[in-house]
Amino acid sequence: MNDLQSVALGDEDADLVVTGGRVCLPEMGEFQSRDVVVVDDRVAALPEDATPVVGDDTRVVTASNRVVAPGFVDAHTHLDLHQTFENAYHYAVEGGTTTVVSEVTGYGPAFGAEGVEQFLAATSYLPVRVRAVVPPQPLLDTFEPRRADDEDADALADLLADDRVVGVGEIDWIHAVGRDTPAELLYERADAEGKTVSGHAAGCSGEKFAAFATIIDDDHEAISGEDVVTRVENGVHAIGRYGSIRDDMAAIGDAYDEVPTAELSLSSDGMWPRELIDEGYMDAVVRRAIEEGVEPADAIRMATLNPARHFGLDDEGVGSLSPGSVADIVLIDDLDEVNVTTVVSGGEVVYNKGECMVAPRSHEYPDRFYDSVNVSADPEQFRVPADAASGGDDGASGEVRAIECQRGLLSGETMVSPPVEGDELVADPDADLLKATLLDRHPKGDVPERRSDGSSASADSGREDGFTGFLTGFGLDSGAVATSVVWETPGVLAVGANDADMRTAVGHVAETGGGWAVVEDGDVVAELPTRVAGVCADLEVEETAKLYDAVESALRRLGADGDRPMLTLQTLAFAGVPSLKLSFSGYADILNRRVVGLTP
């Protein structure tokens, strides 16, 4: 007979007992007055009175009518961006998050399978259970030649056999609907392993959504109640979102009475350092769901049992407090606030009344992870020849295509007439016209030969090395900014009012091994180093948040006037939202699935 049974039957003493709480039973969608009896790292029983198994060595946690819930599960996020999780996980713990399902869209596109392996190695021994999904990005070929060779693709597919890998990560619908899916190899393996496929269906509706639903199992891009219903009707698990990118919790509130609760999960989709400190993590997400009218027991279920079942983590005992489950337990004082007072992870008390028993950790990545920004600040890369414009008269340029920054991640296409200086087209900040450059940063060091005209293409792959276009609506009056934190793309992005500052910013980001740099009149005036794979700071969270704020303030001071300038920048090459973005070889015309140049 196992130890759990001996204690459940009252023959042995428990290691830990949580007494006197209102225990959330997510299977029932209700709270019951129970004690929680723990042996080692498992729940052994949920009796009404655990006194008979409390011995001299039993640790007793008194819940005093507080809510006792399973540890929270984030159903979708990006832990390998902005800040290494090993430096940040204690904030997750303090808010009751004990399991996270994460994309690997920072390390993965740069280092392929090795990126995922390093991510798992860095997060394996934390008191937060981290599970990964395999990034499909290296297999995508819509706007660039595929980055992964056959060996790389096989290595990514092989990861699906790993118990810590629960599925294939999000694919933007534009890469998959109405065409052969470039990530098919991963989907076949996910199918064979009984694992999930995530979608990114922003703006995908009607028959296109139904077509996408033939591929994907979950999506977190519903922004209205109707979107949530559409997902569930099409058999797609709907993951609600509240985090640093967006607050879509009203959609969950609106759909709550229309769809079975079992079909809904909750996620952050990224809680960046500032919000992690100021707002919390899944505790904040559950709070928002309750604010939107979701019954507390259901909100907890959406952040525990539902994601656990969807990703097969219930087999590991995640998401429940039923006998045999993992002893990940959260005590909550007040369900309006969702203020977590005590957290047990794997049977150990890791947080109690303001005291966190765990501290940031470090992970030594391979040297190449600290040397993954191989770009040059060659002036040619930022130069746009005057004859790139069409239809200009003497002295005045003709028109060229430009990206128009809109709200948040959205951008559109516009035509602009940049001034001519010598034989070049230049930025015109007074007319709200900036240059925008995306450079391949060759994370693995495979830097191509430069051509005599200054351009270059990666050997064999045919992939162009970089592109400079124009941008409106960002608002810089002077200076420039560069960053290697570019969603899903191993590149360095620069936006600026003049080439010299753009070059300085790019050079600085390269020198620091990745990060953000804001430059004014040749000086770096704000920076945030993200030297792990070019995308993550390995600093204390508080320090990362402070530097992030400083970069944003510097951008504002230089005139950036959009609602989220740093979000706009890091998504300028992201194909998940329309309509005109940057690629390494031109503008990516997202909805038409083609790369277009400066002129129509």
Ligand X SMILES: Nc1ncnc2[nH]cnc12
Q: Considering the complex, state which of residue 78 and residue 508 has its C-beta at the smaller distance from ligand X.
A: 78
How near is the Cβ of 530 to ligand X at its closest, in Å? 13
Size of the site for ligand X (CB under 6 A): 10
How near is the Cβ of 415 to ligand X at its closest, in Å? 29
Q: Considering the complex, state which of residue 269 and residue 279 has its C-beta at the smaller distance from ligand X.
A: 269
- The span from the CA of 486 to the CA of 566, in Å, is 10
- The span from the CA of 224 to the CA of 216, in Å, is 19
| Beta strands per DSSP E along 268-399 | 329-332, 340-345, 348-352, 355-356, 384-385
User: Do the beta carbons of residue 433 and residue 389 sit within 8 Å?
Assistant: no
Any contact of residue 168 with ligand X (CB under 6 A)? Answer: no
Any contact of residue 174 with ligand X (CB under 6 A)? Answer: no
Any contact of residue 495 with ligand X (CB under 6 A)? Answer: no
According to DSSP, the residues that pair with 518 across neighbouring strands are 481, 526
Any contact of residue 81 with ligand X (CB under 6 A)? Answer: yes
| Tokens, residue 339 | 């203020």
Any contact of residue 269 with ligand X (CB under 6 A)? Answer: yes
Residues 193-212, interacting with ligand X (CB under 6 A): 200
User: Do the beta carbons of residue 399 and residue 470 sit within 8 Å?
Assistant: no
Across 173-209, b (16+ Cβ under 10 Å) vs e yields bbbbbeeebbbebbbebbeebebbbbbbbbbbeeeeb
Q: With the CA atoms of 422, 427, 429 and 432 taken in that order, what torsion angle do they form, in degrees rounded to the nearest 10?
A: 130
Q: Considering the complex, state which of residue 105 and residue 417 has its C-beta at the smaller distance from ligand X.
A: 105
Among 78, 435, 441, 508, binds ligand X (CB under 6 A): 78
Any contact of residue 487 with ligand X (CB under 6 A)? Answer: yes
Any contact of residue 270 with ligand X (CB under 6 A)? Answer: yes
How near is the Cβ of 488 to ligand X at its closest, in Å? 5
Mapping DSSP to helix (H, G, I), strand (E, B) and coil, where does residue 265 land? strand
In angstroms, what is the C-alpha Rg of the chain? 25
How near is the Cβ of 486 to ligand X at its closest, in Å? 9
How near is the Cβ of 76 to ligand X at its closest, in Å? 8
How near is the Cβ of 311 to ligand X at its closest, in Å? 18
* Residue 152 per-residue DSSP state: H
How near is the Cβ of 272 to ligand X at its closest, in Å? 9
User: Do the beta carbons of residue 168 and residue 160 sit within 8 Å?
Assistant: yes
How near is the Cβ of 399 to ligand X at its closest, in Å? 32
Q: Considering the complex, state which of residue 136 and residue 473 has its C-beta at the smaller distance from ligand X.
A: 136
How near is the Cβ of 17 to ligand X at its closest, in Å? 40
Across 251-275, b (16+ Cβ under 10 Å) vs e yields bbbbbbeebebbbbbbbbbbbbbbb
Q: Considering the complex, state which of residue 388 and residue 575 has its C-beta at the smaller distance from ligand X.
A: 575
Residues 398-457, interacting with ligand X (CB under 6 A): none
Q: Considering the complex, state which of residue 318 and residue 575 has its C-beta at the smaller distance from ligand X.
A: 575
Q: Considering the complex, state which of residue 220 and residue 531 has its C-beta at the smaller distance from ligand X.
A: 220
Pattern of binders to ligand X over 228-267, x per CB under 6 A?
-----------------x----------------------
Contacts of 395 (CB under 8 A, 6+ apart): 420
Contacts of 66 (CB under 8 A, 6+ apart): 21, 22, 331, 332, 333, 341
Any contact of residue 34 with ligand X (CB under 6 A)? Answer: no
| Beta strands per DSSP E along 464-537 | 466-472, 480-483, 491-496, 515-520, 523-529, 536-537
| Tokens, residue 540 | 């204390």
How near is the Cβ of 289 to ligand X at its closest, in Å? 19
CA proximity to 451, closest of 370, 400, 378, 546: 378
Q: Considering the complex, state which of residue 104 and residue 400 has its C-beta at the smaller distance from ligand X.
A: 104
- The span from the CA of 345 to the CA of 329, in Å, is 7
How near is the Cβ of 181 to ligand X at its closest, in Å? 17
Among 529, 576, 578, 586, binds ligand X (CB under 6 A): 576
Q: Considering the complex, state which of residue 107 and residue 584 has its C-beta at the smaller distance from ligand X.
A: 107
Residues 88-117, interacting with ligand X (CB under 6 A): 105
Say how many residues make up the chain.
Answer: 600
How near is the Cβ of 359 to ligand X at its closest, in Å? 26
CA proximity to 434, closest of 597, 558, 575: 558
| Tokens, residue 418 | 């940049």
CA proximity to 555, closest of 499, 496, 513: 496
Among 488, 499, 527, 538, binds ligand X (CB under 6 A): 488
User: Do the beta carbons of residue 157 and residue 185 sit within 8 Å?
Assistant: yes
Any contact of residue 129 with ligand X (CB under 6 A)? Answer: no
Q: Considering the complex, state which of residue 15 and residue 172 has its C-beta at the smaller distance from ligand X.
A: 172
How near is the Cβ of 165 to ligand X at its closest, in Å? 18
Q: Considering the complex, state which of residue 78 and residue 274 has its C-beta at the smaller distance from ligand X.
A: 78
Q: Considering the complex, state which of residue 220 and residue 435 has its C-beta at the smaller distance from ligand X.
A: 220
Any contact of residue 475 with ligand X (CB under 6 A)? Answer: no
Q: Considering the complex, state which of residue 36 and residue 177 has its C-beta at the smaller distance from ligand X.
A: 177
Residues 39-68, interacting with ligand X (CB under 6 A): none
Q: Considering the complex, state which of residue 70 and residue 109 has its C-beta at the smaller distance from ligand X.
A: 109
For 123, list phi and psi in degrees, rounded to 5: -110, 5
How near is the Cβ of 10 to ligand X at its closest, in Å? 48
Please report, as ranges, the residues that interact with ligand X according to CB under 6 A: 78, 81, 105, 200, 245, 269-270, 487-488, 576
